Amino acid sequence: MKRLTFIAGISAIIAMSACTNTTTDKITNAVAADSCAGRAFPYPALYQGTFPAADSEGAKYNLVVEQGKCGVGVYALRTDYIGAPKPGDVYLDSGTVSRTTVDSIAVMKLNSVVPGNEPMNFKINRDGSLTMLTSDMQEAPSGLSYKLEKVL
């Protein structure tokens, strides 16, 4: 229940921050959406998964992606560290998300609004799931799973 409340709250905040009230803005947004057809990916979306972590039993990721313009959207990311030194360690992040292609691989790029945070890149798999990529756009060489399943 807490998870659904969190997702609903994040979605509401993102939706409210993206609202425009003028007719001019609505027309501009409609024209921009038409000129970007085919470059966006399905919104809204919720991805979940647990990644390996060095200092804990794992890191549980909840990623919410909402609609934006021309393939650029917004995201909210919650990371809960399981069995961390300080129980309940939680990391919250948000920013913009865009879709690009690297070596014919569809990639979702998360750009944080937090200064100093590096962008996160995910391969968009055919089944709709995401696999985290390294900074050089490769899957983890360790062979460990860094996959987020699409829940919604």
pLDDT digits (tens, 9 = 90+) for 49-72: 999 988 778 899 999 999 876 657
Q: How many CB atoms lie within 10 A of CB 4?
A: 9
What's the pLDDT score for residue 108?
Answer: 93
First to last CA, the chain: 15
Q: What is the mean pLDDT of the chain?
A: 77
The answer to whether 133 and 105 have CB atoms below 8 angstroms apart is no
Predicted confidence (pLDDT) at residue 35 exceeds the cutoff of 60: no
Predicted confidence (pLDDT) at residue 39 exceeds the cutoff of 60: no
What's the pLDDT score for residue 34?
Answer: 42
CA distances from 87 to 63, 79, 84, 133 (A): 21, 13, 5, 28
What's the pLDDT score for residue 125?
Answer: 94
Please state the rounded mean pLDDT for residues 127-147.
Answer: 92
Tens digit of each residue's pLDDT (9 = 90 or more) over 108-129: 999 999 999 999 999 999 999 9
Predicted confidence (pLDDT) at residue 8 exceeds the cutoff of 60: no
What's the pLDDT score for residue 18?
Answer: 43
CA distances from 77 to 19, 21, 28, 110, 146 (A): 21, 27, 29, 10, 15
> What's the CA gap between 133 and 110, in Å, rounded?
11
Query: Running DSSP on this structure, what letter comes out for residue 125?
Result: -
Predicted confidence (pLDDT) at residue 24 exceeds the cutoff of 90: no
What token pair was written down for 58?
Answer: 């794992």
Share of the chain above pLDDT 70, in %: 66
Predicted confidence (pLDDT) at residue 148 exceeds the cutoff of 90: yes
What's the pLDDT score for residue 124?
Answer: 93
DSSP 109-123: EEEESSTTPPPEEEE
> What's the CA gap between 120 and 137, in Å, rounded?
10
